[in-house]
């Protein structure tokens, strides 16, 4: 694809029926769009067709501000489609939420600083001062909103004003140790990414690594998912595991767990930035 960011990406799903693939590709080719990527999948159980397609806009006949309306009128209504349209030159804006643990934050910011991710991180939000030094090191504004039972609603309201005024697309919870309220989840549906310290579903409650150690587990894992109103039960984006043995101490488990958490979270965020994820019925379809 080179450095040409003048592209459009369409993610869609609808009831499966013959001819949809041909219709969508035809829409692009007759309007002089050059298709760069196409991936599709049919869920045979629910009979749903999923697709992601990307094309170059250099010679495309439909002005970009009218593509959405055209597609809605010509195809979405006809096939009962739900779709999202993204443009390659729009940099998604990510807000990072942290508490006191730094491993995920360091990983995200080092990838961001190295230019691995095509996004913007306008600021970091925390409920503690602890990681301000990390934010300063990377030159990113750091906002602290201390949270107590009494002020939680009011503080979240301030956070949401900050998110809105900066046009944030996605929230990344990089080991943010607070429950996100239903109101914020409603504002950012499938746009809040969390990292969980285990291979969900797994040991619940505090000190999961101590529980894992006591049970003599042979693998530990990490899970990244979108946040929904059901705690730790949102659509799973990315998971991974690492082997351990009886020789590993609790500290070893924690260290291996942190390594996994940061890599699993970063993989999930990258997929989100690249618009490779489609959520359907609390499940994710992840395009290659």
Query: Which secondary-structure segment (H or E) carries 226?
Result: strand 219-226
Cβ burial of 127 (10 Å; 0-12, 13-18, 19+) is: buried
Return d(Cα 178, Cα 118) in angstroms, integer: 28
Give 283's strand partners: 280
**Residue 260 CA: distances (Å) to CA of 74, 151, 221, 238:** 45, 33, 7, 11
Give 226's strand partners: 193
- Residue 129 phi/psi, 5-degree rounding, is -80, -15
**Residue 238 CA: distances (Å) to CA of 111, 156, 191:** 18, 27, 15
Residue 266 near residue 108, CB atoms below 8 Å: yes
DSSP 162-192: HHHHTT--EEEESS--SPPPHHHHHHSTT-E
Q: Which residues are catalytic?
A: 232
Return d(Cα 99, Cα 128) in angstroms, integer: 6
Please confirm whether the linkage preceding 227 is cis (ω < 30° from 0).
Answer: no
Ranges of beta strands (E only) in 16-118 are: 34-43, 48-56, 82-87, 93-98
């Amino acid at each position: 694809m080179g450095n040409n960011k003048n592209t459009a990406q369409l993610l869609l799903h609808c009831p499966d029926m013959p001819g949809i693939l041909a219709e969508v590709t035809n829409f692009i080719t007759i309007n002089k769009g050059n298709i760069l990527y196409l991936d599709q999948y049919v869920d045979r159980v629910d009979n749903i067709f999923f697709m992601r397609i990307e094309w170059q806009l250099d010679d495309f006949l439909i002005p970009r501000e009218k593509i959405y309306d055209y597609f809605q009128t010509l195809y979405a209504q006809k096939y009962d489609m739900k779709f999202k349209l993204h443009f390659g030159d729009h940099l998604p804006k990510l807000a990072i939420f942290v508490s006191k643990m730094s491993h995920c934050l360091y990983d995200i910011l080092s990838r961001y600083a190295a230019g691995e991710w095509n996004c913007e991180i306008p600021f970091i939000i925390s409920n503690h001062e602890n990681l301000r030094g990390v934010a300063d090191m990377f030159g990113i504004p750091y906002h602290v909103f201390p949270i107590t039972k009494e002020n939680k609603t009011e503080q979240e309201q301030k956070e949401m004003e900050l998110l809105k005024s900066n046009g944030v697309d996605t929230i990344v919870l990089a080991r943010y140790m607070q429950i996100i309220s239903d109101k914020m989840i409603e504002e950012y549906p499938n746009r809040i990414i969390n990292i969980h310290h285990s291979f969900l579903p797994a040991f619940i409650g505090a000190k999961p690594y101590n529980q894992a150690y006591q049970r003599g587990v042979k693998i530990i894992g990490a899970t990244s998912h979108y946040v929904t109103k059901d705690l730790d039960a949102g659509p799973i984006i990315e998971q991974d595991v690492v082997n351990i043995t009886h020789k590993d101490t609790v500290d070893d488990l924690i260290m291996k767990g942190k390594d996994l958490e940061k890599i699993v979270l970063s993989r999930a965020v990258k997929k989100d930035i690249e618009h490779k994820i489609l959520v359907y019925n609390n499940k994710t379809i992840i395009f290659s």
